[in-house]
A and B are shown apart, each in its own frame.
Chain A
Amino acid sequence: MAVQTILRISPAAWLGPILALVAMGYARIIYPATYDPYPLALTSVAGWTVSVIGPTVAAFGAWEGGRLHRAGWWGLPHARPAVVVAGASLAPVLVAGLGALGAAIAIRFADAGVLAWPDLRVVGVETCVVTAQALLGFAIGLRLRPVVAVPAAFLLMFTWMALPAAILPVWLDFPTGAWAGCCAIDSDLAPRAVVSAITVVVGFLVAALVLLRQPFARIQFGLASLAAALGIATGLWLVRGMDSNPTVPRDPSVLVCAPGPPEVCVWPEHRSRLATAARVVAKVAPTWLAAGVPLPARFSEEWSEVLPSSTGRVTIRSDNEEEIVLSLARGVLPPVPPCALRSEVPYFGFEARDYVIAWLVDVAGVPPDRYASTHVNGDKILGTVAAVRALPPDEQRAWLAGNLAAMRACGVAPPLEPAG
């Protein structure tokens, strides 16, 4: 189809720029899983716009299909293959949809000031989602009157994309391919979520092909609905029981590390802060060791659930040395034991954490009120830390050991206030 013809007759060509503007506006207002310049997170947040782009291209596709429906062309003998005609009709629709998706990704990366390739897995899935919805819309348009097909295609696809996000459990949303919850810097996109979204795409494509098949009988509506429903059901089955985000721990082999001891490892997006972090570690580690603090062999930004016990979890959010000390103090603490999440035995470690972190910060030479002031009981924490710091070193060690023991196990009461 000539470009001039497309511009003259295709709503996708007229409304495509508006769709791109809406997608760009939408991409900018969604809260990302992280504010780090993590290409996967930026791509996923921008990819969330398929929840609007998909239904819109389905409506565009339905209109293009409706053109052939009104002409009765699909059922007639024709010289050009059906796929060529459908492709020519859908080309402007796909250009509008994929262009809007590209614009959304581009604006999100530009806003974050990141010059990198978007995550190709997310881009690939979103491309498949847009294509499948456009083709399904086209098939609906081919079989129903445009007056019904266009709103029906839009509302059905919009309901599919938006409804799972409005109901629980959270994983109902993952097969749509819109993953705003992906991904914090220590996480990666779960392959199950990708497979699930592709399964739904396959279901939609099969449904579209069933509707496109000639000669047409009414039973094809039933078969197409069945194919789409099977795709959705399989997609949901694949992600059943997943956590609140479609994520898995990120591959630790991409960490960049500074030698220790203790070694410090950060994600590549935090590479610029590594030297500062290593300098701070070199400064505070001897002080903490002298005060009897058991230090891990390594500080790392890895996902905390997969860390070995010899590694302390840190998050180097900025170049600010005080914030780095605070993060290191958190990383020194033992992980929360599984029993803390059950209710049989009380766990007192959460309360002890605030006191110990404030003490560690004070020992490292940072005013403890930088940490304690953010707490509702900040004054109490500061008073306790001042009292502990006034004790002889051995008694401070005993206080620390008692509190660390309360963090490692359930049912152990921490000695929050120093004895005597």
Chain B
Amino acid sequence: MTLWLRVRRARTCVAVALALAASLLLTGDLALPIPSLRVGSTLALPFAFLLPLAVATVVAYALGAGDPRAEAVACRPMRLLDTAYALAVAALALGACGLLWAADVSDTAPAAGRNALGYVGLTLLGRRLVGPHAAPILPVGFVLLTAMFGVRPGVERDWWAWPLAGASDPVAWLFAGAFLLLGAAAALAGTGADR
């Protein structure tokens, strides 16, 4: 397992999950202007909602770091281990954000942690849908899509634009959790072609 953890870049993944928390402290309430085409203006997208994309990217990187042909004939349940590994990294990111929230030093941390769950789920889905090399494009593209089209005049945001929701929105947590479970299911049900 030591070798497997090394191949899966465990140190890098832990560092990125913790760096997410550190970055949240540094960036605070910083928001980046992004076109919101339905509002007809620019939307101030909290940087905290983008930062968890790093966690999703490093998970995709780690899962694709092994030798697919050798792992295809391994006696250990690689698919299960990989899925558990992705969930663990997402949970670590959520935990790190949760600590910030508990310490009352970051208001956006819970939402960032929630988004980390959803983005990792989308990445796992992406591995099935568009292949391991392009998997992180799914969460990145989804965030852009929600920023550009998820907000309408007179409506704070559409129901499906969960990455833009505040931490207190239960539906957004539901979406993020559902995407994580869906991604995990897709990863477990993989045929091997996605490795």
Contacts and interface: CB of A to CB of B under 8 A. Distances in A.
B34 A154 contact: no
B140 A148 contact: no
By secondary structure, the B interface counts as: mixed
A66 B140 CA distance: 18
A154 B34 CA distance: 14
Contact of A22 (B35, B44, B58, B136): B35
B30 interface: yes
A30 B43 CA distance: 11
B60 interface: yes
Given A151-B140, A166-B30, A167-B30, A52 B35 contact: yes
A166 B40 contact: no
B57 A147 contact: yes
A145 B64 contact: yes
A148 B61 contact: yes
B61 A150 contact: no
A28 B64 CA distance: 41
Interface in B44-62: 44, 47, 50, 53-54, 57-58, 60-61
Interface stretch (A157-165, A192-200, A312-320, A326-334): A157-165
A60 to B, nearest CB: 11
Interface in A146-195: 146-148, 150-152, 154-155, 158-159, 162-163, 165-167
B78 interface: no
Contact of B61 (A147, A165, A166): A147
A165 B33 contact: yes
Interface SS majority for chain A: helix
Given A29-B40, A30-B42, A145-B64, A150 B35 contact: no
B166 to A, nearest CB: 19
A26 B44 contact: no
Contact of B37 (A25, A63, A151, A152): A25
Contacts of B58: 148
B17 to A, nearest CB: 16
B35 A25 contact: yes
Interface size class for chain A?
Answer: 20 to 34
Nearest to A162: B32
A143 B137 CA distance: 18
Interface string B173-188: 0000000000000000
Nearest to A51: B33
A179 to B, nearest CB: 14
A66 B133 contact: yes
A147 B135 contact: yes
A147 B42 contact: no
A147 B132 contact: yes
Q: B interface, how many residues as a size bin?
A: 20 to 34
A324 to B, nearest CB: 32
B136 A151 contact: yes
Contacts of B54: 155
Given A147-B57, A147-B133, A151-B57, A166 B35 contact: no
A146 B35 contact: no
A30 B33 CA distance: 11
A314 B136 CA distance: 55
Contacts of A145: 61, 64, 133
A155 B37 contact: no
B123 to A, nearest CB: 9
A230 to B, nearest CB: 23
B24 interface: no
A146 B133 CA distance: 6
Interface string A312-356: 000000000000000000000000000000000000000000000
B35 A154 contact: no
B64 A162 contact: no
Nearest to A30: B42
B39 to A, nearest CB: 8
B33 A166 contact: yes
Interface string B58-84: 101100100000000000000000000
B11 to A, nearest CB: 16
22 contacts: A22-B35, A25-B37, A59-B137, A70-B133, A145-B61, A145-B64, A145-B133, A146-B133, A147-B60, A147-B64, A147-B132, A147-B136, A151-B53, A151-B57, A151-B140, A152-B57, A155-B140, A158-B32, A162-B32, A163-B47, A165-B33, A166-B31
Interface of B: 30-37, 39-42, 44, 47, 50, 53-54, 57-58, 60-61, 64, 132-137, 140, 148
Given A148-B58, A166-B31, 12 more contacts: A22-B35, A22-B148, A25-B37, A29-B35, A29-B42, A66-B133, A147-B64, A151-B53, A151-B136, A154-B140, A155-B54, A165-B32
- Which 10 pairs show the lowest CB-CB distances between chains A and B? A162-B32, A26-B35, A151-B136, A146-B133, A25-B37, A29-B40, A151-B57, A147-B60, A148-B61, A151-B140
